[in-house]
Chain A
């Protein structure tokens, strides 16, 4: 058994468009973007890869030392976990497919960056939406409950 990473569904939704990943945390209102090597890491996570598999996928695409890639991947995974976007779980990690490249040799490597946007958070914090459950709808207290 090894550790693999899972997208923190159903709270986290994401789409990849023109090589950029847009991620939204529905609980907090925070949204994020990942480009280039960050998008490649996300692609490997989607495939159920573990940390080793993610680093291997990046090495197949980018021109950098094993150590540099491993450190950069570790830092991004820590950040993704800290932000609640992924969670580690025990299980057989899938081997990540090589990150899709342009077929023209390996690309120069730049460490992945998780861009974080918090401008929607106010909306969530000021206007939380509660699912109405057994506690019922809010209702003005009847007079006999408010008077002593």
Chain B
């Protein structure tokens, strides 16, 4: 790679033309209409192949067509995607309300916040790494949520219509296992295992973004109810991937009032149980990974998240070897 001396992102007009050309070549644009955090969002895919590759994570948010508060344009070049470990430099620019990010998997995200319009280009819609296709357009949606007064946070969320919990912690802390274990109990609904939106208005609330779930192949034996739901086409070196709305219809949820922050912790015990935690514990589990997973790191995000954890209680969920006992422990937190 070399560099060209154009400090600004490609002009929005050229992105529009590129998308139109790609859509025409792919048999037309395919529109997906969603209600995200209660707002109408339209995702325009260039062709059915691209739509099929990146729609399943949004299946639970599909809504009737509305006047969109955000329109994303999504296309690929049908080129072979570069082999990537996800590591490598990202490039970010922000100019006149237009944010642009180029990531190592050669994915390009541009958001024009003033126009409520975004663009997402990738080499091959079927060649994205699992962390991208299970959470598509994460940066575009994160920047847009920010402009709506909401935050995309690194955490899972499960609960009921009446209220739910935010599951926070670094990778390997048991967030996904906890979130996906809720599919064992009809009373609980799934709002995500990795990234959700949170609003801190009068009543703090969680808004689901993705109904996808991921677990390490080695942890799958702890969640045998998921095996039949394993998404097709998952490569053997990747995490096991699920789309909850597809495999467990009606078990995902668009959002709920936030009742508690839960920090899962893997322990030697057999059954899961919750104990009160400190707010500092919740903030340390939530803030660093949220701040560093969204480009660029937002300086004001720590104060915002501190404000959130001050408003709801924190629990440590001690996970045992028996994953079937997790839903009951979560329900006991919600009943407090």
A residues whose Cβ falls under 8 Å from a Cβ of B? 10, 13-15, 17-18, 20, 22, 24, 26, 29, 31, 33, 117, 119-120, 123-124, 126-141, 145
Contacts and interface: CB of A to CB of B under 8 A. Distances in A.
Contacts of A145: 2
Contact of A136 (B6, B299, B302): B6
B283 interface: yes
25 contacts: A17-B279, A17-B309, A17-B310, A20-B280, A24-B287, A24-B302, A26-B297, A31-B287, A126-B86, A126-B87, A128-B89, A128-B90, A129-B91, A130-B89, A130-B91, A130-B92, A132-B91, A132-B93, A132-B100, A137-B4, A137-B93, A137-B102, A138-B91, A139-B1, A145-B2
A137 B299 CA distance: 24
Contacts of B88: 126-127
Interface string B272-308: 0000001110011001110111011101001100100
Contacts of A133: 7
Nearest to A115: B284
A31 to B, nearest CB: 5
Given A24-B291, A120-B288, A127 B3 contact: no
A14 B299 CA distance: 10
A134 B5 contact: yes
A137 B1 CA distance: 10
Given A10-B299, A120-B288, A137 B9 contact: yes
A33 B3 contact: no
Contacts of A139: 1-4
A120 B302 contact: no
B170 interface: yes
Given A130-B91, A140-B1, 19 more contacts: A15-B283, A15-B287, A15-B306, A17-B280, A18-B278, A123-B289, A126-B88, A129-B91, A130-B90, A131-B93, A131-B296, A132-B7, A135-B3, A135-B7, A136-B3, A137-B4, A137-B93, A139-B1, A139-B2
Nearest to B90: A129
Most chain A CB within a 10 A radius of its CB, from B6, B7, B91: B91
A22 B283 contact: yes
A123 B292 contact: yes
A120 B292 contact: yes
Interface residues of B, number: 40
Contacts of B299: 10, 13, 26
B42 to A, nearest CB: 28
Contacts of B5: 134-136
Contact of B287 (A22, A29, A131, A140): A22
Contacts of A132: 7, 9, 91-93, 100
Contacts of B204: none
Nearest to B280: A20
A29 B310 contact: no
Given A129-B295, A129-B296, A33 B4 contact: no
Contact of B7 (A22, A136, A138, A141): A136
B1 to A, nearest CB: 5
B104 interface: yes
B110 to A, nearest CB: 12
A131 B278 CA distance: 36
Contacts of B310: 17
Given A22-B283, A33-B284, A139-B4, A15 B87 contact: no
